[in-house]
A and B are shown apart, each in its own frame.
Chain A
Amino acid sequence: MSDERQLPPHYQQPLLQTPFHDRARALSQLDSFIPWSGYTTVDVFTTVEQEYFAIRNAATLYDLTPMVKYRVAGPDAQRYLNRLVTRDVARLKVDRVCYCVWCDDSGHVIDDGTIFRLGDDEYRLCTAERQIDWLLDSARGFDVEVTEVTEQIAALALQGPTSCAVLKQLGLVGVDRLKPFELGSFEAGGLRVTVSRTGFTGDLGYELWVAPQDATALWDALLTHGRSRGVRPIGSRALNLARIEAGFLAPNVDFVSAERTLRVGSSRSPLELGLGWLVDFEKGHFTGRRALLEERGRGPCRQLVGLDIDGNKPAVNALLYADRSARTEIGSVSSAMWSPTCKRNIALAMVDVPHITPGSSLWAEVYLNRELVWERRMCRAHVVERPFFAPDRRRATPPADV
């Protein structure tokens, strides 16, 4: 190799660091980092339990810079997004955010994400995985520009019951007037921060978007001003517990992107994922519409449901049966946990029709490892409504001053 300096940074260092990395490393007690979309991010800072309880009882900082961000702009931006996602983007007003999914031609989910409307013809699409190939192919025939801006924006999630109070303390005047899924620009201590009342915890919370050079200043300010309100950084493990309680889906856990599945039948439609409410058949054509119409006509043959399982052992990866004797297999669990807040043993599972209606009862085959001795338990599971945990504070505007 003649000149190593010309190699792109990813060749030198396969995982990039976010602008918050130095701060996170200093606070990480376990040195527990995991890769996420090409970045190294914290899995656990101290202990999962401590971090989880901070989400539900105080406020938490979570570095979501690696979330892939695309700028979608141009005269056809709205038409483009409406053809891309299943939801009606024309209803999204400026300074509002919506959750959405997009599908391939067979109506199977490629990814989920959020769309931020930043202006009349300017949007930001946030996704879990890189999608530029699909997004650019979808742009054929539209006057729209799609560019990845992940590295140009540093992002922090501030989530928990005291999060609004922390932001007010920081000097973000009027932040308490933001409604859920609303977006606003604020200034505090010389920092320009865009704040959206969004998150992945199902709790009161905000996501903060700043220029990368302002990232550490924002981090420091939040920890300083939030100390009395219990702000602490969290890793992905604690967040994952909160998102299961909130009933949110995690890509590659609860579904696999249709662009990545190889086996027939392993990709999932929004109807199967229980996201039928995101599909607007009346708005005009979108990718996957004809396939989804057909599926709606014949009805999905399986669906993602919430389960409440007897006992307190998380039914991780459990197979589900219609009968205790495990003769008829009817599905499997994709996410499971003991919910400390709900005091319930909950799970997200893909279950065959007709066992999907709330109130149905089925059996989970749970394996327990007791000091290397495996035990098998058949536990009764009940289909229940999602989310499992939905406190009023997540919607209250203004939030209670705590």
Chain B
Amino acid sequence: MSAVRPTAAAGYDCVVIGGGHNGLVCAAYVAKAGRSVLVLEAAAQVGGAAVTHEFAPGYRVSACAHVLNQMSAQLIEELALELHGLRFAATQMPTVALSGDGAPLTIGAAGLSGPARLSKHDLDAYPRFVERLGKFAGLLGLVLEQVPPELGTSAWSDRFALLGLGWRVRRLGRRDMRELLRIGAMNVYDLLNEQFESPLLKGALGLDAVLGTNFGPRSPGTVLTLLYRMAAQAGAGQRAPAQPLGGMGAVCDALAKAAVAAGVTIRTEAPVSRVLVANDAACGVLLESGERIDARTVISSADPKTTLLRLLGAEHLDTGFVRRVSHLRTSGLAAKLHLALDAAPRFSGLEAAAHGGRLLVAPSLDYIERAFNHSKYGEYSDAPAIEVTVPTARDPSLTPAGGHVISAVVQYAPYMLRAGWEAERERMADRVIATLEQYSPGLRGMIRARELLTPRDIERQFRITGGHWHHAELAFDQFFMLRPVPGAAQYNTPLPGLYLCGAGTHPGGGVMGTAGRTAARRILAKAA
């Protein structure tokens, strides 16, 4: 720990590129350990993609993620985010599977409930399914918290980490271990069809497995993404899924206050143009304004391609490493629709109070898979799968009096749309609204303003290569020891002094903050 903090003129111990949630989390933890830290954010406000933005006069909404279901409860406590102003408009939000026949299914902490009719088989099977998958998710949860071991080293810490992992799998017992190995790499379509009868239930669970990914329910590896979601949600504690009061921006506002309280300096409207290198080590950053900031350690929460290929540059890296980084799959497939409404929307079969939950348009697994099919060929489906929230059902502060907003994650919207997004954006918005209207008759007449953010828009507005939620696809080959790529999976990059801490690193994105927190641990251990 350095006793004397250098002044700004002499540079900082650490400079963090990007003031998104992971950047702020990392900065706060590093500063708490006594380092001088500067956060540089390109936009006018901190938050990155976790912001609340005004998309129509007076109407505000979480710009990307709209449900806080993954942020580690431990992190919220350690950084005292509630002391710094984080409040929740809703907690333990139920999931509602919307149905065309007006009889939705509600999935809550207490289990399944109607009005949808469920078979006895499903009612019996569901708790067993949740318990068993919960056990596996618990195991994965331990993985999410750790610095991934490095393969092929002779370091005992790496060997022990791998051994420990194997030991925990073994300790599941013979039957559960066999089941984990059986379903681990399976697709969620086959798994759910084994377990359940109700298409509505399977559709809802299936959508959770593929939200924010480039997968359909039949894609391999979707049991992993389901377990991942469950694991992260378990780490988020009793509250999750929750809706922050004031939208997702409130989370980053609290994070920023916590960071400042820990001694972090935050500068907004300070886009970085280069990572500076001297003697084969990072030594600071150059801002687009031409200003130079010296630092012994440079930490980037930007996506791996932006950090390594654009800010640092291939010339400082080896060809094989650059090849791996360029091959990283970073194209987003989720769009975001925002609707400003004159009145409260009504979804068929739902009581007014139930509108504060997560409302899913995924009536069956085949429905999702069909929507996915189009995306493989650069098209979007006229019948998309959607996760809808009505944030104003619980948080009227987001709109003028009487107004409401709908916030919807729409799948699938391919980054590379064959017809081009400029020509198709409004037509796709029309199709999504038409789909929603099947579940909420009269919705169209309430719309005052609308906004559709495609992966292209997300890329441009939030400076995320490909516009992917997780910066890089969350799949077996880009997970844990392989995330983002071997050679940078332990948060340090091949360039000494340059670290990654964003969603592209383990354990990935979503408004979780674990990547930033674990990166800080690694940075403090390495750059002591």
Contacts and interface: CB of A to CB of B under 8 A. Distances in A.
B173 to A, nearest CB: 36
A138 B319 CA distance: 5
B313 interface: yes
Assign chain B's interface to a size class: 10 to 19
Contact of A141 (B314, B318, B321, B494): B314
Interface in B316-334: 316-323, 326
A104 B320 contact: yes
Interface residues of A, number: 17
Given A140-B309, A285-B280, A290-B280, A105 B316 contact: no
Nearest to B312: A141
Contacts of B326: 137, 140
A287 interface: yes
Contacts of B318: 104-105, 287-290
B315 interface: yes
B31 to A, nearest CB: 30
Contacts of B319: 83-84, 104-105, 134, 137-138, 287
B313 A141 contact: yes
A83 B320 contact: no
Interface in A25-80: 79
Chain B at the A interface: mostly helix, strand, loop or mixed?
A: helix
B494 A290 contact: yes
A346 to B, nearest CB: 36
A239 to B, nearest CB: 31
Nearest to A83: B315
Contacts of B316: 285
B370 to A, nearest CB: 36
Tell which of B280, B317, B318, B323 has the most Cβ of chain A within 10 Å: B318
Nearest to B317: A285
Given A290-B280, A290-B494, A141 B320 contact: no
B177 to A, nearest CB: 30
A288 B318 CA distance: 6
A84 B314 CA distance: 11
Interface in A122-157: 134, 137-138, 140-142
A287 B314 CA distance: 10
A83 B314 CA distance: 9
Given A83-B319, A137-B323, 13 more contacts: A83-B314, A104-B320, A105-B319, A134-B319, A138-B319, A140-B322, A140-B323, A141-B315, A284-B315, A285-B280, A287-B320, A288-B318, A290-B280
Interface of A: 79, 83-84, 104-105, 134, 137-138, 140-142, 284-285, 287-290
Query: Closest 5 CB pairs between A and B?
Result: A141-B314, A105-B318, A105-B320, A287-B318, A138-B319
13 contacts: A83-B314, A84-B319, A104-B318, A105-B318, A105-B321, A134-B319, A138-B322, A140-B309, A141-B309, A141-B315, A287-B320, A289-B280, A290-B318
Interface of B: 280, 309, 313-323, 326, 487, 494
